[in-house]
Amino acid sequence: MDRLKPATVADARDFFAMELRTVMGHHGVSATPPSFDYLVGLLVKTISSDNFFKTNEAGHYEETLVFDLYIEYTQAPLEQKAVILQRIGDLCLLVSGYFSDSLKSKLVDLDYYFGMGGTAYRTLADLQTQNASRAVYAELSGKFQPYSNILGEMSERNGLQSNKDLLRLYERWMVTGSDRLRKILGEYGIQPINSQKGPKQ
């Protein structure tokens, strides 16, 4: 089915909140209100590429590599580490979920982003001095893969248009073992077998 899209940035938050609530409800994935708001805010940021990519001297966007951010984190003074950790976690969550098709030509896979993103949020939680912030980042770390899968479904709600889309979905199922993805593949006559990972939402 066709997915409705926000007409302006102003109504994007309501749009993403509705989509996120719907998909979470379908698959029994929960989030505390502060974590839900964080995920919605993160999705709103996807509207502008400037939030995730830097521009070179020619004015063209350049990909932000998680490894480069990690190196930056290891060399940064303490007061800057939290900002970089948050960026790593956010980037990993979006790339592994909402923009997972961008991994097709990469040397790293979903497991890499799951590990880097979850660790970044967990470390960030440990740095927080306020309990509320600590709880949000701890939840993002503990539920990183389920949240990634939810964002992945939100990205897929436009429908599968081609064999390439089905292949991408099958490759994601091979990594996550998701029952949701197995069901979608089954609807297209594909019955995946021999998963090496346990089923996940």
Where is average pLDDT lowest: 5-19, 136-150, 161-175?
161-175
> CA angle 102-108-97, nearest 5°?
45
pTM: 0.71
C-alpha to C-alpha distance for 56 and 125, rounded to whole angstroms: 32
Please give the helix or strand (H or E) that residue 90 lies within, else none: helix 78-96
Q: How far apart are CA 98 and CA 28, in angstroms?
A: 19
pLDDT tens per residue, range 88-125: 999 999 888 877 766 665 656 788 899 999 999 999 99
Residue 196, helix vs strand vs coil: coil
Quick check: 27 and 150 in contact, CB under 8 A? yes
* Lowest mean per-residue pLDDT among 4-13, 22-31, 99-108: 4-13
pLDDT of residue 184: 72
Q: Which of 23-37, 86-100, 159-173 has the highest mean pLDDT?
A: 23-37
8 A C-beta contact, residue 89 and residue 124: yes
Ramachandran sector of residue 159 (left: φ over 0; alpha: ψ -120 to 50; beta: rest): left
Quote the pLDDT of residue 107.
55
Which pLDDT does position 14 carry in this prediction? 84
Across 1-5, 50-54, 106-110, least confident range: 1-5
Pick the range with the lowest mean pLDDT from 36-45, 124-133, 182-191: 182-191
**Residue spans per domain, the chain:** 9-52+62-159, 160-201
Question: Among the ranges 33-37, 51-55, 177-181, 184-188, which has the highest mean pLDDT value?
Answer: 33-37
DSSP designation for 158? T
Highest mean pLDDT among 27-36, 41-50, 191-200 belongs to: 27-36
Question: 19 or 125, which is more confident?
Answer: 125
